[in-house]
């Protein structure tokens, strides 16, 4: 099955740990609102690091999504792994195994994200038992 729509996201920088320098990953709080076939709110944490080479960076994130997916209520977790190498990006976002609750128990899948004209869009390809 597949769910599509858009989402609004706010990334809030978090304070660095004492003693951290510029080479340490920066932390951000994630706050998202999904619209469309996934009507949900998520909260999470991101760790990101840039490099001295323009267009190269990496991030990892975890977020808990709660709401409805095609009318089925529950929650699940997403894990992100993103890289940029001199402007070329790759992103993998997957549903954490066995993280589904309620009517989303057993959810498996992966999400793709694209940004067009400043708007964030998602496609969630998934399976439910």
In the chain, the number of structural domains is: 1
- Work out the pLDDT band at 20, boundaries 50, 70, 90: confident
- Using CA atoms, how far apart are residues 60 and 45, in angstroms rounded to an integer? 9
Would you say residue 112 lies in a domain?
Answer: yes
104 Rama sector, left if φ>0, alpha if ψ -120 to 50, beta otherwise? alpha
Would you say residue 72 lies in a domain?
Answer: yes
51-93 confidence digits (pLDDT tens): 889 999 999 999 999 999 999 999 999 999 999 999 999 999 9
Look at residue 84 in the predicted model and tell me its pLDDT.
Answer: 94
Q: If you count them, how many residues does the chain have?
A: 129
Would you say residue 89 lies in a domain?
Answer: yes
Cβ distance 45 to 62 under 8 Å? yes
Cβ distance 23 to 32 under 8 Å? no
Would you say residue 104 lies in a domain?
Answer: yes
Would you say residue 52 lies in a domain?
Answer: yes
Q: Which domain holds residue 100?
A: 2-15+25-127
Look at residue 23 in the predicted model and tell me its pLDDT.
Answer: 62
CATH (domain of 72) = 2.40.350.10
pLDDT of 24 above 80: no
- List CB contacts of 116: < 8 A, sequence separation 6 or more: none
**DSSP H or E run through 124:** strand 119-127
Cβ distance 79 to 96 under 8 Å? yes
Would you say residue 65 lies in a domain?
Answer: yes
Three-state secondary-structure class, residue 81: strand
Would you say residue 20 lies in a domain?
Answer: no
């Amino acid at each position: 099955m597949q769910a599509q729509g858009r989402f609004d996201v706010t990334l809030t920088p978090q304070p660095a740990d004492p003693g951290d320098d510029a080479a340490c990953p920066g932390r951000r709080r994630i706050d998202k609102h999904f619209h469309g076939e996934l009507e949900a709110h998520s909260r999470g944490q991101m760790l990101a690091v840039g490099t001295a080479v323009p267009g190269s960076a990496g991030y990892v994130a975890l977020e808990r999504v709660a709401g409805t997916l095609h009318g089925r209520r529950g929650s699940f977790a997403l894990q992100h792994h993103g890289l940029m190498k001199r402007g070329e990006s790759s992103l993998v976002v997957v549903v954490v195994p066995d993280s589904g609750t309620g009517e989303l128990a057993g959810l498996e899948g992966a999400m793709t994200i694209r940004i067009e004209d400043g708007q964030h869009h998602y496609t969630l390809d998934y399976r439910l038992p």
